[in-house]
Amino acid sequence: MVQRGDLMFNSKTLGRTDGLAARALAMAAYASLACAATLGVGAPAAAAYPEHQIKLIIPFAPGGGNDAVGRTIGKLLTESLGQPVVVENMVGAGGKIGVASGIRAKPDGYTLTLISNSYAVNASLYQLPFDPVKDMTPVGMIARGPFLVTTSSSIAANSLPQLIELAKARHGALSFASSGVGGISHLATELFMKDAGIKMTHVPYRGTGPAVMDTLAGRTDVFFSTPGAAMPYIKDGRLKALAQTLPETWSDMPSLPTVAQAGVPGYQVVIWYGLIAPKGLPQDVQQKLNQALNAAIVKPEVGRQLSMEGDQAAPGTPEQLRAQIETEIGVWQKVVSEAHIKVD
Q: Is the peptide bond before 50 cis (omega within 30 degrees of 0)?
A: yes
Half-sphere exposure of residue 17: CA atoms within 13 angstroms, side-chain side: 15
CA distance 120 to 333: 9
- For residues 235 and 310, membership in a common domain is answered with no
What are the backbone angles phi and psi of residue 99, rounded to the nearest 5°? -65, -45
- For residues 28 and 54, membership in a common domain is answered with no
Would you say residue 321 lies in a domain? yes
- For residues 139 and 50, membership in a common domain is answered with yes
230: nearest Cα among 248, 245, 216: 216
- For residues 155 and 192, membership in a common domain is answered with yes
- For residues 140 and 276, membership in a common domain is answered with yes
What is the CATH number for 294? 3.40.190.150
- For residues 165 and 217, membership in a common domain is answered with yes
pTM: 0.83
- For residues 140 and 278, membership in a common domain is answered with yes
- For residues 176 and 235, membership in a common domain is answered with yes
CA distance 97 to 119: 11
CB-neighbour burial class of residue 322 (10 A; exposed 0-12, middle 13-18, buried 19+): middle
Would you say residue 262 lies in a domain? no
Would you say residue 118 lies in a domain? yes
What per-residue confidence (pLDDT) applies to 63?
Answer: 78
Number of independent structural domains in the chain: 3
Would you say residue 232 lies in a domain? yes
Domain boundary among the residues 225, 244, 263 is at: 244
pLDDT averaged over the chain?
88
Would you say residue 264 lies in a domain? no
- For residues 6 and 61, membership in a common domain is answered with no
Would you say residue 256 lies in a domain? no
Would you say residue 61 lies in a domain? yes
- For residues 320 and 239, membership in a common domain is answered with no
Q: What is the CA radius of gyration of the chain?
A: 27
Would you say residue 158 lies in a domain? yes
Domain that holds residue 15: 2-39
Residue 57: strand pairing partners: 88, 113
What is the CATH number for 233? 3.40.190.10
- For residues 152 and 229, membership in a common domain is answered with yes
CA distances from 280 to 119, 135, 138, 144, 193 (A): 19, 8, 11, 26, 40
- For residues 211 and 295, membership in a common domain is answered with no
Q: What is the pLDDT along the chain (344 residues), one digit of tens a residue?
A: 434 333 333 433 334 444 444 444 444 444 444 444 444 444 455 578 999 999 999 998 887 788 889 999 999 999 999 999 999 999 887 788 999 999 999 999 999 999 999 999 999 999 999 999 999 999 999 999 999 999 999 899 999 999 999 999 999 999 999 999 999 999 999 999 999 999 999 999 988 999 999 999 999 999 999 999 999 999 999 999 999 999 999 999 999 999 999 999 999 999 999 999 999 999 999 999 999 999 999 999 888 888 888 899 999 999 999 999 999 999 999 999 999 999 87
Share of the chain above pLDDT 90, in %: 75
